[in-house]
Chain A
């Protein structure tokens, strides 16, 4: 759109394909309704309305996504090219919605007293005691979660860089707030929120400057246009002024700078080393249900966006970005696995394990093939479900001060409550990638794709760091089953919603480990459609 067209007053109305963007609109609409509920209903009614409303919104969006995937030919761009609705995107969106529903089970479990009664009341003051005694609670967490989930759905679907930036912020801003709302250990929680916020804002500024440079390089925001400019070396000229404005030589320096800065923003959200430093702090400090949402949904969404940027916009220059991604993948896998060994807090250990898994996912991204794409999609679904299950178990093991975070408190848990410890051990084995768990299938698929894509050294590093990682997973299992319980050790509190989340995570881990073929086929089918541009 140029100034002369606008001056002529000849502005066409934008055309939005509402059926294709309906899942997004449903989630955002439910979130807005949730805000209205906050305004219009009394305190006692709010949780009773918010929880079913949130589940209804997520469920409806999921059903619509499935219908889109089954029925129509969804391989097209929507909303004037702002969103690409295609096979991989629908698979990722469906995965995010399922993971969001699982996390919502944890968030909505009000028996666990996870969230602060009143965030504005200072910890340890009379005001906080009054808020606790009065039974007040923040039901704003439900609309906040839904906004974050809406952003997660939009992020991997964005077909231009502006939409991607807005989606990134819509996803992140509610999460910054949710991180600071833990009821116990409030100072840790607030510190996590500040760290996440400052580092997140810092990284999104880099992301934005990367967008500016790519816009300067190509003259367009759309990923497809950027791909075209990479191929032709000539900037894009808008349709209205073709003939009057000549295309220029595109400046290579802007392209390389832009790609590097854009990658910083995306890798930060994914938590790849050197941009991982927020992950352990935030995962430890945030309320565990929010950690579960971040560890699954945000990771899936960020990897989806990374795939779209590097497979659509930058596919033609893959020989230029692959060495960079090789380096990042290798240090991510190695640092994640090695630093996890020294951790003494269970959530911190899972955070470093998540860093290592981000590295394994990157090996699939580097493959830049249909197999690489489908294996990453499968890995994301499998890993997300296992992660939520593991964090759900963490919320169940409690002592007087809330969750028993320190690993030494978990000693002998297998003797006290064998079932819960056994399930947790199974999740850890899935993270380690032991056969007959979903983790094995996912890792095998990713490594095979990377090997076929000519990245054999990467696979060797991946297998070695998996072996290192297995050490600290097994160490926790040994601690739970072969050491004596402390006299005043934590007890296991089973609440129905959390137990349901654990059961579903366990079911997904077992089924995807024993019978992975249906989901592998589905991922293959989704990847076969490739990204629309």
Chain B
């Protein structure tokens, strides 16, 4: 069982590091999705461990929420790409200090 949890923690960390070091907003966003899916893996493993179904039900909720997040996120990233011709998170730097 702990193998799945270690894999989940590993995927989550890869996602978190990706958010911090990647520049393209789309890739950053994909890394966030990776973190959510890593969490799903943890939920399902814990569900098996405890012998109840709560964790598996939650995984479905997380998928729906992630889908809704994609809709909103891509809309926002699309708009900024169209007005700037770039989706790099470093270029958007009018707001600082």
- Which residues of chain A have a CB within 8 Å of any CB of chain B? 1-3, 6, 119-120, 122-123, 162, 165-166, 169, 173, 176-177, 180, 186-188, 190-195, 197-198, 201-202, 205-206, 208-209, 211-213, 215-216, 219-221, 235-238, 241, 245, 280-281, 284-285, 342
Q: Which residues of B contact A119 (CB under 8 A)?
A: 79
Residue pair B83, A209 in contact (C-beta under 8 Å):
no
29 CB < 8 A contacts A-B: A122-B83, A123-B83, A165-B65, A166-B61, A169-B65, A177-B72, A177-B76, A190-B76, A190-B92, A193-B76, A197-B76, A198-B28, A198-B73, A201-B69, A202-B32, A205-B12, A205-B36, A206-B35, A208-B36, A208-B62, A211-B58, A212-B8, A216-B42, A216-B45, A221-B54, A241-B51, A241-B52, A281-B96, A342-B97
Q: In the complex, what residue of chain A is closest to B12 when comparing beta carbons?
A: A209
- The 0/1 profile, CB within 8 Å of A marked 1, for residues 2-18 of chain B is 00010010001001100
Residue pair B72, A215 in contact (C-beta under 8 Å):
no
Sorted nearest first, the 4 A-B pairs with minimum C-beta distance are: A205-B35, A219-B50, A216-B46, A212-B42
Known A-B contacts A209-B12, A219-B52, A245-B51; the reply to A201 vs B32 at CB < 8 A is yes
Q: Which residues of A contact B96 (CB under 8 A)?
A: 281
Residue pair B62, A198 in contact (C-beta under 8 Å):
no
- Please report the total number of B residues contacting A with Cβ < 8 Å: 49
Give which listed residue, A194, A202, A281, contacts B80 with CB less than 8 A: A194
Q: In the complex, what residue of chain B is closest to A193 when comparing beta carbons?
A: B76
Give which listed residue, B49, B89, B95, contacts A281 with CB less than 8 A: B95
Give which listed residue, A191, A195, A209, contacts B39 with CB less than 8 A: A209
A284-B94 Cα distance, complex, nearest whole Å: 11
Residue pair B83, A190 in contact (C-beta under 8 Å):
yes
B28 to A: closest C-beta gap in Å: 6
Interface centre among B8, B43, B76, B89 (most CB of A within 10 A): B76
A177-B15 Cα distance, complex, nearest whole Å: 24
A342-B38 Cα distance, complex, nearest whole Å: 41
Q: Which residues of B contact A192 (CB under 8 A)?
A: 95
Residue pair A216, B76 in contact (C-beta under 8 Å):
no
A305-B75 Cα distance, complex, nearest whole Å: 29
A177-B94 Cα distance, complex, nearest whole Å: 19
B contact patch SS: helix
Residue pair B61, A165 in contact (C-beta under 8 Å):
yes
B7 to A: closest C-beta gap in Å: 13
Q: Which residues of A contact B92 (CB under 8 A)?
A: 190-191, 194-195
Residue pair B76, A180 in contact (C-beta under 8 Å):
yes
Known: A173-B69, A191-B93, A208-B62. 5 other contacts (CB 8 A): A186-B83, A190-B83, A197-B76, A219-B50, A241-B51
- The 0/1 profile, CB within 8 Å of A marked 1, for residues 43-85 of chain B is 1011001111111011001100100110011011101101110
Interface centre among B15, B25, B39 (most CB of A within 10 A): B39
Known A-B contacts A173-B72, A186-B83; the reply to A191 vs B42 at CB < 8 A is no
Q: Which residues of A contact B49 (CB under 8 A)?
A: 216
Q: Which residues of A contact B89 (CB under 8 A)?
A: 194, 198
B49 to A: closest C-beta gap in Å: 7
Give which listed residue, B15, B52, B57, B77, contacts A205 with CB less than 8 A: B15
Q: Which residues of B contact A208 (CB under 8 A)?
A: 35-36, 39, 62
Q: In the complex, what residue of chain B is closest to A173 when comparing beta carbons?
A: B72
Q: Which residues of B contact A166 (CB under 8 A)?
A: 61, 65
Residue pair B50, A235 in contact (C-beta under 8 Å):
yes
A284-B69 Cα distance, complex, nearest whole Å: 23
Residue pair B15, A215 in contact (C-beta under 8 Å):
no
Residue pair B35, A209 in contact (C-beta under 8 Å):
yes
Q: Which residues of B contact A198 (CB under 8 A)?
A: 19, 25, 28-29, 32, 73, 89
B21 to A: closest C-beta gap in Å: 13
Residue pair B53, A197 in contact (C-beta under 8 Å):
no
Give which listed residue, A180, A201, A205, A213, contacts B79 with CB less than 8 A: A180
A198 to B: closest C-beta gap in Å: 6
Residue pair A122, B95 in contact (C-beta under 8 Å):
no
Known A-B contacts A122-B83, A205-B36, A212-B42; the reply to A188 vs B95 at CB < 8 A is yes
A183 to B: closest C-beta gap in Å: 14
Residue pair B53, A6 in contact (C-beta under 8 Å):
yes
Give which listed residue, B53, B84, B94, B95, contacts A2 with CB less than 8 A: B53
B94 to A: closest C-beta gap in Å: 5
Q: Which residues of A contact B39 (CB under 8 A)?
A: 205, 208-209, 211-212
A197-B28 Cα distance, complex, nearest whole Å: 11
Q: In the complex, what residue of chain B is closest to A285 when comparing beta carbons?
A: B95
B51 to A: closest C-beta gap in Å: 5
Residue pair A238, B65 in contact (C-beta under 8 Å):
no
Give which listed residue, A197, A202, A216, A281, contacts B72 with CB less than 8 A: A197
A186-B93 Cα distance, complex, nearest whole Å: 13
